[in-house]
Amino acid sequence: MNRPVRLGSIVQALGGELLGPDVDVQRLSPIETAAPGSLSFVSAPRFARQVELTGASALVVPPMLAEAAVARGSCIVTDDVYPYFARLTQFWKALGTEAPVPGVHPTALLHPSAHVSADAVVGPYVVVGAGARIGAGARLDDHVSVGAEAQVGEGSHLYPHVTLGDRCSIGARAVVHAGAVIGADGFGFAPYQGGWIKIEQLGAVRIGDDVEIGANTCIDRGALDDTVIDNGVKLDNLVQIGHNVHIGAHTAMAGCVGVAGSARIGSHCTVGGGAVVLGHLSLADHVHVSAASVVTRSLSKPGQYTGVFPLDDNASWEKNAATLKQLHALRDRIKKLERP
């Protein structure tokens, strides 16, 4: 996505102060691989050394690095470098992207009772069920499946092969990546005579505004009440959200996280990749779970929580792991030694 962009046009669009000549840049680059033509960024004074070393043509920097940055070339100075850079990626993408033409591809199948906004973009082989509603400016890519009475809010974008189940709803400005499944049945069965009786999942999934959902991620419908994802939640790929889970606003979960049924996750939480949250637990706001940790109890205090077996070379691991099975007994032996 290379193209010449004048620094001045960036400052005009996003703010910040331009120091040095108003040159063209060709691309956005990470600081490590930046070369002539690159616009890059340094987010904090502790990375001052990178300002000296980088090959970038221009930098976005905080005020404390402005002097060092302009000494070597053009720079844009702003207080919040990282958010600025995030908005810069949006500006950059918009430059290079033609807005898709509103309209419904002739192969899309819309149920006669579905309401599709005139300025939505509905791609080939999309199927939209009875009574579904697709909001203004929403975009359904090829092969998307929208169930009966489901809703997609304004400006939301569903990538190819997304499945949105019957009666499930997504708010405005959502991004749902390819293959995500919203509204499959929760995993509910009553044990009976050695087998299982299915508990039909009568709830739905309700998703707020500004939510992003990763590729092949699954969010199950509730058993009786709904599964709820609040505004601003960000879920990475291959995440599993069980039935009747509630995720508070602006919580983010990395790839391969599993959240079991009826867990209640607070707002502004983060859950690291591969972590597991067991069912029927509550996590307070601002709880942060480290990658690959298993949450087996409710967490009522904000903070960082971890539970991961430390990696070791295999031979050392084998010794320590074997000893771990005697740990309780070892404790008793220490107790005995302590008695005079």
Applying the rule CB under 8 A, the residues between 118 and 137 that interact with a copy of itself are: 123-125, 127
Stretch that binds a copy of itself, among 8-16, 49-57, 60-68, 208-216 (CB under 8 A): 208-216
Nearer to a copy of itself, 135 or 147 (CB): 147
Tokens of 94: 């918009």
- Edge to edge, what strands does the sheet with 294-295 contain? 109-110, 127-128, 145-146, 163-164, 181-184, 218-220, 240-241, 258-259, 276-277, 294-295
Shortest spacing between CB 80 and a copy of itself, in angstroms: 7
State yes or no: residue 14 binds a copy of itself (CB under 8 A). no
State yes or no: residue 9 binds a copy of itself (CB under 8 A). no
Q: State how far the Cα of 134 lies from the Cα of 126, in Å rounded to an integer.
A: 12
Shortest spacing between CB 4 and a copy of itself, in angstroms: 15
Do 48 and 67 touch, CB atoms closer than 8 A? Answer: no
Nearer to a copy of itself, 71 or 195 (CB): 195
**Catalytic-role residue among 143, 161, 177, 243:** 243
Nearer to a copy of itself, 46 or 314 (CB): 314
Is residue 111 among the annotated active site residues?
Answer: no
Classify 131 in phi/psi space as left (phi over 0), alpha (psi -120 to 50) or beta. Answer: left
Residues 149-188 that bind a copy of itself (CB under 8 A): 159-161, 163, 165, 175, 177-179, 181, 184-185, 187-188
State yes or no: residue 312 binds a copy of itself (CB under 8 A). yes
Residues 96-115 that bind a copy of itself (CB under 8 A): 107, 109
Residues 237-276 that bind a copy of itself (CB under 8 A): 237-238, 240, 242, 250, 252, 254-256, 258, 260, 268, 273-274, 276
- Cα distance from N-terminal residue to C-terminal residue, the chain: 75
Shortest spacing between CB 301 and a copy of itself, in angstroms: 8
Using alpha carbons, select from 292, 183, 185, 275 the residue that is nearest to residue 229: 183
State yes or no: residue 46 binds a copy of itself (CB under 8 A). no
Using alpha carbons, select from 74, 73, 98 the residue that is nearest to residue 8: 74
Nearer to a copy of itself, 21 or 310 (CB): 310
CA distances from residue 173 to 118, 128, 148, 154, 210 in whole angstroms, order as listed: 17, 19, 21, 6, 5
Nearer to a copy of itself, 67 or 318 (CB): 318
Which amino acid is located at 145 in the chain? S
Tokens of 285: 């706001």
Residues identified as active-site: 243
